[in-house]
Amino acid sequence: MNCSLVLKDSPNDFLSPSAGRFLLRTLPVKPLFIKNPYLAHVNTFLIMNRINALFCGLFVFASLNSTAQKSATPVVDNAYITNILNTLASDEMRGRSALTKDIEKAADYIAGEFQSIGLEPYAEKNYRQTFQVQKISPSVPKVSIDQTTVSPENVMILSRVKDLHLDAKSGAKVLKIEAGSDFSEEFRKIVQSGIQNAIVQVDPSFKDLFKRFQKIYGKESLVAEGNTVFTNSFVFILGHQISDDYQVELKNTYETIPLFNVAGIIPGKSKASEYVIFSAHYDHIGILAPEGQDSIANGADDDASGVTAMIALAKHFKKVNKNERTLIFVAFTGEELGMYGSTYFSQHINPDQVTAMINMEMIGKDSKFGPNTMYITGYHQSNLGELMQKNLKGSKFKFYPDPYPQQNLFYRSDNAVLAAQGVPAHSFSTSQMDQDTYYHTVKDEVSTLNIENIKASIEAIAIGITGIVNGKQTPSRVEKLRE
């Protein structure tokens, strides 16, 4: 690992799947910026000890002249945006799950775009950055109480034990989630409690919420190569009184599989050893239970919109050809499963060489602040947003601090590992996480997006970041989370 931050699996590892995004809020809120097995300690530290980040210092700089602030020609046109979106969010991509071969099509498409733009490969010749993980596939759980079988529909098991068997003699702690309590909060507390094994009785009033969680937990999951497999087990049972006579059986199958980021670069000139990163995740959640005639979660907003912006910015800066710093464009894999791609990438780059990171996460619709706006997570952790806004002087576009500070979004997205090491790495979004009912459903389609707003966001980022790309500006560093 190319950094001083060492992160291992912990009970928080169970909160790494995409559902972990919404555990701390009321559904159907957008579980936007996630959790990561590597970031378990980061997340715990943030939850238990709120960090009041300090500016590393005021950065004094000369304002860019007016001609540098404004783009002489449009950065991108609507047709280009629409073409990429329609391709990445098409049914042919089958929801871009990182756990299936379907992700190959999306990776090849992005690599093809990088090649046509003229980017150089970042790692491998095919633009991939490949790494290995272990995929854990659970069997159908077998649970009985008082010798009566409990339907698997009413069971949710969080366990990575290869051959799990629990009964009254196993010493599992029996817990309850009572009616009227905060299900998400109680769930989180139990999983993070450090209890070795627990059987949890869930009140039937939580049926709908239980089903939402069940769609994500108890399914396939990943463990990064070299990490110790977490051995705690949590069995949630809906609507059944738990007696002393119970049996729980589950088998997990392990398989080593490759995952791969897709990354290209535009080498810098006078400051080639300094990097500016533009990123978005290209994976989504694949095939879901049918809703009418549709079962493919196309992920148009999440996050084909961000990948589209990243590719458009690559094309723009390649054409302009004025970058003094090296530009890295990367599509991360495994975000929906726990930010595996961004974590691996961040482990294999020197954070001291990264000047800034722009991570784009769901930019397909108007933000809470209206058209021509985006919000930046951790806005006040560095002065990156302030610099970019000043470079937009005269524009109607505005960058805002994120409107959901209680969610600690800054350390819950693909920017998190580098941010924890002091890099001004921020996520840019327009997602209205408290209203988006299409999130992680088959209804997240291109037809629901605002192409004009995506275009405006891309252009604002392109113009706002130009001074940093050209080496004339350097944002202040984020206070390191840990040494």
Give the pLDDT of residue 219.
Answer: 80
- Is the N-terminal amide bond of 28 cis, ω within 30° of 0? yes
Count of CB atoms situated within 10 Å of the CB of 151: 10
Q: How far apart are CA 317 and CA 312, in angstroms?
A: 9
Q: What are phi and psi of 31, to 5 degrees?
A: -75, 60
Q: What is the mean pLDDT of residues 247-254?
A: 96
| Domain(s) of CATH 3.40.630.10: residues in the chain | 78-134+259-470
| Chain length of the chain | 483
Contact 165, 248 (CB under 8 A): yes
Question: Which of residues 375 and 229 earns the better pLDDT score?
Answer: 375
Give the pLDDT of residue 387.
Answer: 98
Name the CATH superfamily, with its identifier, for domain 78-134+259-470. Zn peptidases (3.40.630.10)
User: How far are the Cα atoms of 114, 155, 229, 316, 318 from residue 463, in angstroms, in the given order?
Assistant: 21, 51, 45, 10, 14
Most confident of the following: 39-53, 183-197, 313-327: 313-327
Give the pLDDT of residue 19.
Answer: 37
pLDDT in tens, 128-166: 999 999 999 999 999 999 999 999 999 999 999 999 999
Contact 329, 311 (CB under 8 A): yes
7 pLDDT higher than 50: no
Q: What is the mean pLDDT of residues 326-348?
A: 96
Contact 44, 466 (CB under 8 A): no
Question: Which of residues 49 and 216 earns the better pLDDT score?
Answer: 216
59 pLDDT higher than 80: no
∠ CA 151-154-158 to the nearest 5 degrees?
Answer: 115
pLDDT in tens, 224-240: 877 767 789 999 999 98
pLDDT in tens, 96-112: 999 999 999 999 999 99
DSSP label at residue 302: I
Contact 11, 192 (CB under 8 A): yes
Give the pLDDT of residue 289.
Answer: 83
Give the pLDDT of residue 228.
Answer: 65
Give the pLDDT of residue 452.
Answer: 96
Residue 218 structure tokens: 């108890």
Q: What is the mean pLDDT of residues 378-389?
A: 98
What percent of the chain stands above pLDDT 70? 84
Give the pLDDT of residue 230.
Answer: 74
Q: What is the mean pLDDT of residues 367-393?
A: 97
Q: How far apart are CA 287 and CA 441, in angstroms?
A: 10
Computed over every residue of the chain, the mean pLDDT equals 86
Contact 332, 263 (CB under 8 A): no
Residue 237: which of 288, 174, 287, 281 has the closest Cα? 174
The amino acid at residue 129 is Q
Give the pLDDT of residue 482.
Answer: 61
Q: How confident is the model at residue 481 (pLDDT cuts 50, 70, 90)?
A: confident
377 pLDDT higher than 70: yes
Least confident residue range of 52-56, 387-391, 439-443 = 52-56
Give the pLDDT of residue 271.
Answer: 98
Q: How confident is the model at residue 64 (pLDDT cuts 50, 70, 90)?
A: very low
Residue 469: which of 391, 377, 375 has the closest Cα? 391
Give the pLDDT of residue 32.
Answer: 34
User: How far are the Cα atoms of 144, 298, 418, 472 from residue 278, in angstroms, in the given order?
Assistant: 51, 22, 13, 18
SS3 77: coil
Give the pLDDT of residue 203.
Answer: 97
Q: How far apart are CA 378 and CA 218, in angstroms?
A: 32
Give the pLDDT of residue 71.
Answer: 46
